[in-house]
Structure 1
Amino acid sequence: FHEPPFQEYMGLVALGQSSSHSKIADDAFRTFASDSEFCARVQQCKLVRVLNAVIHQAERKKSRQEDVVYVQGMNAICGIILLELNEIDATALLLALIEKHCPLYLNSTLDSVYIGCKLVDQVLHVVDEELFDYLSKFKLSAQIYCFPWLLSLGSCWSPSCEAVKLFDFLFAKGVHWIVLCAVARIVSLRADLLASDRPMKIFQKLPRYSANENICEAKLYWSKLSSAQQKVIEKHPYDALHAVEDLD
């Protein structure tokens, strides 16, 4: 990604509060608040500063007909990025996600998050039909329990140090892999889900996340999909129209 020069970033910061500042400030206060390691390394003021700068820059680049807004999930994504990158690099990376790599995950209508949930259901049906059918008995589609996972690109899976490893993988291989990682996360809960008569409770209290195990399983599931299914997953973060057509 292209790193904006220091002066450009400072110019964005000098603009102060963006049009989304109120929402940014509210979410920054809650971002990984119970994670002591995260709170020690990423101060709220840094998170607020970067997110406001991102919105200012995105608004500059968009046409007047297109609204650029902060959406929930950006705070968690930005927080994980700031664990490893400085503010300038974090701003550049978040802008690259918004503008190129997964714009429809981070727009006001969250188009690709909804499509991603449908894809999770489809992939789960392929790799573990028994588990898919069991969850369906309780009317548990991925949109009910998986939406925040995709919305935050998995950054909500704790601990944050493991989410960093997940981001390394997603940014190297493609953000679309979050669909496969979400399916792998579901299947990792298989025994508990099948043994429960209230499976939603299992999703509400997740065990510790292991990025390496999750990614290995995700790669295995990818190999079980047809090339047509893989193509839909690959393009859904930025091409919702064609992804929906192929999905249907």
Structure 2
Amino acid sequence: MTSSPYRNAPHFPPTSTGLPPSSPRTAGRLRKLQSQPSLISQQRHQQLRNASPSRNPAIPALPVFSTPRKHTRTRSNSDVVATSSPSTGPSTQRAQISRRTENPKDELKSLMRRGPRGDLPNALQSLRHWILVDGLEADNDGMSDLRIYVWLIMLNSPPLSTDVYLELIRRGPSPAYAKIRNDTHRTLMTNPLFKRRVRENSIIRLLNAIAWRLHDAKSDRMTDSGRITNASTDFGSPELQHVEPVKKHAKGASTVTGDGSEAGGSEPGIYVQGMNVLCAPFLYAARTEPQAFIAFHYFITRECPGYIRGAMDGVHKGVALVERCLAIADPKLSTHLLSKGVKAQIYAFASVLTMSACTPPLPEVLQLWDFLFAFGSHLNILCICAQLMMMREELLADSSPGKLLRSFPPLQAKKIVELTVGLVRKIPPELYEELVHHAE
């Protein structure tokens, strides 16, 4: 059997922008992360190269990071020992002091603003390494000045003119408007942080604009012959290229519901229940609604188009994969749950559909999403397994574990990520490829 490209080498399918996809889509990159040469050795190797690669002006700038430093107290001027060396002038001394005292947050901001000094794949890998090792700095509410920009980079989302978003809003209610209004008031309704920052009107506007965009994309793809056209859209690239055409008015064919989604079909709908929760972290982290709109749009159309189909086949595949992965990660726990009639369809459906956003607290959700966007949203399946393993002792000791799984304990993003990285190494190659492709 030939080795899987997802294990041995990074595989970047061509896109219209010429950029690699935001998610690595490779188990090998994540499995071999600890065996990678240190950033110091990579930097020294980079400095030995006399000629730097030419930068493509069409490629957006991304940072290459130096070795992360721990937070230390900045030295005051009185702490600096004066030197009498004639070769060191005042300007040189100031530059040296600045380099020594620059903390990782300021360094990351500077590099995000100026862009990479090397090639793009290495810059993306450095950013992923930064997220995994140090994480993005945020306050107690989970707010970070850099998070939305990191998400946009990892999702490979292009800039969006505010006028494009406003034009979608001016079109009024979409075919899915009634269903959207029925869900939005329940979005993270018990979360005071979210309610304080995001109004229901913002959720309605964003989801209605998404519904119009998906409605237009569906109309453009369908031709008289029933084939899908992969014409570029205003966003710069084809959308939902993996879906199958819907054959209407045939036996067993899908039917169009009142909200514009197909019931039981493989063609994406324009709104499915759960999208309101899935868009909530984008609105919370973004500085503007257009930012949240373009990031959310690219997420659902590139990362998990199978989750928004009328039949939600991607979600059901993900739920089945939770049970299969748990059986490998923790056979005893898996056997215990199945023996008590507790199936993943009962406890994992909401977590799969919402990328674990249904489990508070919200700041931990944002931190977990940093990891998912950096290394692939398919890893949410393993994150759910990790959450079950964190409850292992309680579940094994309970004769009715289903009651404990009615709601998961509060998220602990850092611990979940640590367990997930370990689980990646246990998953067989064939099963891991199913993880990667299950949401297409």
Normalised by the length of structure 1, the TM-score is: 0.92
Q: Which residue of 1 aligns with 2:358?
A: 156
2:252 counterpart of 1:96: no
Out of 139, 143, 167, which is 2:369 matched to? 167
Residue 189, structure 1, aligned to residue 394, structure 2: no
Which letter does structure 2 place at the counterpart of 1:22? Answer: A
Highest relative contact order (Cα 8 Å, sep 6+), 1 or 2? Answer: 1
Q: In the alignment, is residue 206 of structure 1 matched against residue 408 of structure 2?
A: yes
Query: Residue in 2 aligned with 1:15?
Result: 171
1:83 aligns with 2:83: no
CA contact (8 A) 1:146 1:182 kept: yes
Q: Helix, strand or coil for the counterpart of 2:168?
A: helix
In the alignment, which residue of structure 2 is the partner of 1:32?
188
Q: Which amino acid aligns with 2:186?
A: R
SS in 2 for 1:53: helix
**Shift of the alpha carbon at 1:67?**
5.5
Kindly name which structure, 1 or 2, has the bigger radius of gyration based on alpha carbons: 2
Relative to structure 2, which stretch is displaced further, 65-74 or 28-37?
A: 65-74
| Alpha-carbon distance, 1:95 to partner | 1.4
Tell me what 1:42 maps to: 198
Worse overlay, 121-130 or 84-93: 84-93
Mapping for residues 103-122 of structure 1, pairs under 5 Å:
103-122=305-324
1:67 and 1:119 map into 2 onto residues whose CA distance is 21
Question: Which segment drifts farther, 163-172 or 60-69?
Answer: 60-69
Name which of 68, 77, 89 aligns with 2:269.
68
Q: Whose helix fraction is larger, Structure 1's or Structure 2's?
A: 1
SS at match of 2:356: coil
The number of equivalent residue pairs is 238
Query: How big is the alpha-carbon RMSD for the aligned residues of Structure 1 and Structure 2?
Result: 1.3
Amino-acid identity (%)? 30
Q: Which residue of 1 aligns with 2:57?
A: none
Q: Structure 2 unaligned segments of length 5 or more: list them.
A: 1-156, 223-245, 247-266
Specify the code of the residue in structure 2 equivalent to 1:155.
A
Letter in 2 for 1:112: G
Deviation digits for residues 136-165 of structure 1 (CA, Å, limit 9, x no counterpart): 111212112100110111100101111111
Partners of 1:174 and 1:236 in 2: CA distance: 12
Relative distance call for 1:186 and 1:231 in structure 2 (3 A) is: same
Judge conservation of contact 2:269–2:308 (CA < 8 Å) in 1.
no
1:128 paired with 2:330, answer: yes
Instruction: Give ranges in structure 1 of 5+ residues lacking alignment.
Output: 239-248
TM-score, reference length from structure 2: 0.53
**How far apart in 2 are the matches of 1:223 and 1:148?**
26
- Output one character per residue of 1:170-210: Cα deviation in whole Å (capped at 9) or x when no partner: 12211111111011011111111111111111111332111
Displacement over 2 Å in runs of 4+:
63-69
Alpha-carbon distance between aligned partners in 1 of 2:327 and 2:369, rounded to the nearest angstrom: 26
**Shift of residue 111 of structure 1?**
0.7
Alpha-carbon deviation of 1:24? Answer: 1.2
Structure 2 CA distance, aligned partners of 1:74 and 1:169? 20
Comparing 77-86 with 63-72, greater Cα deviation is found at: 63-72
